[in-house]
Amino acid sequence: MRNTLTIGLDLLYAERCSLCGDLLSSDREWRYPVCGMCEAELAARDGPLCSVCSTRLVSEKDICTRCRNRHYLFTSNYSLFIYEGKTKELINQFKAKNVKPLAGFFAARMAPVIQDRHCGFAVVPVPYRSTRKRARGWDQIEAICRELRRNYGIRFHPILKRRNSAAQKSLDYQGRLENLKGNVYLRKHAHPPDKVLLIDDVFTTGATADACAAALKSAGVTEVRMLSIALDQ
């Protein structure tokens, strides 16, 4: 239940940058809420990137060593940022501290990527564990998708569900894959589109994308890609 304190905090966040605390000055800043200075400091994705997971390549060509040794069921992931510094803090604000207007900030960054690179792919949010959603009272990924629809006319299809399994954080790729096996599935009466673009927050090992791709492909989806906020490499 919202109390005076929560409403007060919402107002506080709405007027100040969620990263540096400075007062926000423009309409755009007020809406998101991140100041222009902090936005400029978010790690940009330059240089050659792995065509599968979008990690920065050092000496490899086209595909990183990790992806070369794995056979994912999804085709590719592209992450807007690297999961470090201010980006990490921003995601923490969004997920742990419930700064809801940040959904609009991430959607604004995702929209051009979806329109330019993933034409013909239907947006599907990666599902949360239901206990987690219940505890927080909202689904952050769906919130981004709703912003995509509202501000950019990009439709989304919440067709995946997830049974409760152990938290993923401390597990490696194999552990995550085992943990997720059979726990991601299609909603009853869902009509999966031909090609799917999954939306998620942090791409770590690829196990979540793989589990979603397994469920989608067994229902006839031909190609699955992912777009995520940040890459934890």
Q: Note whether 148 binds Zn ion by CB under 5 A.
A: no
CB of 97 to Zn ion, least distance (A): 15
Residue from 7, 12, 20, 167 binding Zn ion (CB under 5 A): 20
- Between 35 and 110, CB nearer to Zn ion: 35
- Between 24 and 124, CB nearer to Zn ion: 24
Contact set for Zn ion, span 97-126 (CB under 5 A)? none
- Between 12 and 167, CB nearer to Zn ion: 12
Longest dimension (CA), the chain: 55
The span from the CA of 210 to the CA of 200, in Å, is 12
Q: Note whether 50 binds Zn ion by CB under 5 A.
A: yes
Q: What is the DSSP string of 175-200?
A: HHHHHHTTTEEEPTT----SEEEEEE
Q: Note whether 42 binds Zn ion by CB under 5 A.
A: no
- Between 7 and 20, CB nearer to Zn ion: 20
Asked if 36 and 24 touch (Cβ cutoff 8 Å), the reply is: no
Q: Note whether 17 binds Zn ion by CB under 5 A.
A: yes
The span from the CA of 18 to the CA of 38, in Å, is 9
- Between 67 and 148, CB nearer to Zn ion: 67
Q: Note whether 53 binds Zn ion by CB under 5 A.
A: yes
144: Cβ contacts below 8 Å, ≥ 6 apart = 103, 106, 107, 110, 125, 199
The span from the CA of 118 to the CA of 103, in Å, is 20
Contacting residues toward Zn ion, per CB under 5 A: 17, 19-20, 35, 38, 50, 52-53, 55, 64, 67
